[in-house]
A = this chain, B = another copy of it.
Amino acid sequence: MARSCDRRPAQDRGPSALALPVAPKGRGAEYAQVVASELPALYKLGIVGAGQVARMTHQAAVKLGFTPRLLAEDLHDSAALAAPDAVFSHPDALAAFAESCEVITFEHERLDLGLLQRLEDDGLVIRPGTRTIRAAFDKMHQRRVLLNRGFPVPVFSEVRGPDDLLDFAGIYGWPLVLKSVRSGTPDDRGAWVVENAQEALRVMSEQAGRQLMVEEYLAIVKELVLVLARRPGGSARCYPLVELSLDEGVIREIRCPAAVGHQVATQARELSLRLADELDSVGILAVELFLTTEGLVVNELAARPHNAGHGTIEGAPTSQFENHVRAVLDLPLGPTWATAPAIVTINVMGGLENIDPMVNLPEALSVEGAQIHLYGKQPRPGRKLGHVTAVGDDIAQARALARRAESALLGRRAW
């Protein structure tokens, strides 16, 4: 069974110096009691975004006694359906939202970095900080930082026009990977494998207006993710390395532990911890890795709880969501080892039939031992509507259970 690596400094720190009681900033009656008991002000947590990641983070916070505030865009956002204190507004309202919180965290990186930087300079506690968010959001910046610090990355180049692309192809040949410089959405990762100049130019014209970059196409043996939690000051804990199956660039299945040797797992952990230190990451950092015949290469970073860590709800003593909350509030991290020999998570994706998995709950819940998580989202083709996790003695057993439940939710026969 995989165990976490634990790198606590000799003395584990309590809440930081910032965690002093302060008067509430007009948040209404619900904060009266917080002040009465002189809670550290940092416990006034705001979460920017209200998708499923915010929904599960909110639940983890409630378990510990917190009532985070959400910045949602819509009444129907997954987390807004499940949390009482949601502010419905365009993400531009970030500054006003931040005013009402003492610390803010994020469920995605698609943010106005200039604004964040100004808020941070003004003393708002932003966790992770802008340095980390910039690296997760801007992939050119990320690649440059990683390259400069000696991390293994694919060969890459900016694409300002067709010439840049064709020059790159002249050196590295086809196929190539075109990518959006800006971090994608859960439903559009913004990466395209192109086989030749014609395909490449078509993608470029379809994605006109989007800043693009190009990378060499690597022969990928496995796609892996190392999820870790890190506190301000550097205490960090890694979850076991997991392995992904993707379908058209979208994560389908997550298997824990990854079927790799001890050396690869150790290298992934060490590389990711070093990366977290370099970026001074706080909260969950998910490091997406390619295992190639040449070794590990960093694919992408996410500075938030990640789809690859959803199985930690049942498969670890402390879920990635709880450890994210603990980390951004500078509280001691919880253990991260795997609580079962095999944990498989399968995403429940909206199909062309637009079936609402809620309708099939009776069938899915009769799959004994499968853990069903539905996000309350309106079904749409390709949309992540939920996930199913199963634990077991081996991957095949856990996967069979998870697949049966996922098929039941979508009204299909099991794979």
Partner-B contacts on A (CB < 8 A): 12, 14-15, 29-30, 33, 36-40, 43, 55, 59, 62-67, 75-76, 80-84, 86, 317, 326, 331-332, 334-335, 356-359, 361-363, 365-366, 368-369, 371-376, 378-379, 386
Contacts and interface: CB of A to CB of B under 8 A. Distances in A.
Given A62-B55, A81-B30, A362-B15, A376 B335 contact: no
B15 A358 contact: no
Given A84-B81, A365-B332, A358 B39 contact: yes
Nearest to A12: B366
A361 B64 contact: yes
A56 to B, nearest CB: 9
Interface class of chain A by DSSP: loop
Given A62-B376, A65-B358, A331-B365, 5 more contacts: A30-B75, A37-B359, A37-B378, A67-B81, A67-B376
Nearest to A374: B65
A82 B64 contact: no
**Residue among A63, A65, A356, A386 having the largest count of chain B Cβ atoms under 10 Å:** A65
B30 A76 contact: yes
A33 B81 CA distance: 12
B67 A82 contact: yes
Contacts of A317: 369, 371
A317 to B, nearest CB: 6
Contact of A356 (B37, B334, B359): B37
A13 to B, nearest CB: 8
Nearest to A355: B37
Contacts of A14: 362-363
Nearest to A372: B64
15 contacts: A30-B76, A33-B378, A37-B378, A43-B358, A59-B62, A62-B81, A62-B376, A63-B374, A64-B365, A65-B357, A80-B84, A317-B369, A331-B362, A332-B362, A334-B368
Contact of A361 (B65, B80, B358, B371): B65
A31 B368 CA distance: 30
A392 to B, nearest CB: 12
Contacts of A363: 14
Nearest to A82: B62
Nearest to A43: B358
A86 B55 CA distance: 18
Contacts of A63: 59, 372-374
**Residue among A15, A37, A357, A378 having the largest count of chain B Cβ atoms under 10 Å:** A37
B376 A65 contact: yes
Nearest to A8: B366
Sorted from nearest, which 3 A-B pairs have the closest CB atoms?
A65-B374, A37-B356, A332-B366
A334 B39 contact: no
